[in-house]
Amino acid sequence: MTEEQPEEVKKAEDKGEFASVSVDTLQSTMESFIATANTSAVFSKPVQHGDTTIITCSEVVAVLGFGVGEGGGGDKESNGHGSGGGGGGRTFARPVAAIVASPSGVSIQPIMDPAKLALAALTTLGFMFAMMGRMSRGRIR
């Protein structure tokens, strides 16, 4: 059940360069990931409706995580050794505003997200009550 390793991995292991193979993989992954963060992700294609042109603007969030490692183990007979790496990422975009160009002028209309506003309000209230509770306990002592 042993898997045949590529020649470059064997050469790297012989030299003790386990991380160099993982760094190459990481670099190609990051290049692909960064390619997704471009202006077309932020600004949509213009939409015409009569004399009015609308362009939506989005907030783009990109998250990337990775890890590499090597180690040994096993009993004295097997003298096991290995290395590996892995990673993943995600991009997320949500509309935050619309640019409206009409014969009467250009305006930017915000796009409100009620769920995000409610979550921010609840988080703020929770923090305030927690701090008030801590402060009132400190006075009793």
Same domain membership, residue 90 and residue 125: no
Same domain membership, residue 22 and residue 69: yes
pLDDT at 2: 45
Query: At which residue do the structure tokens 């096993």 appear?
Result: 74
* pTM higher than 0.95: no
Same domain membership, residue 86 and residue 138: no
Residues of the chain where predicted confidence (pLDDT) is lower than 70: 1-23, 36-37, 74-79, 139-141
* Domain, as residue range, for 36: 7-110
Same domain membership, residue 140 and residue 71: no
Cα gap 15→70, rounded to integer Å = 14
Same domain membership, residue 13 and residue 43: yes
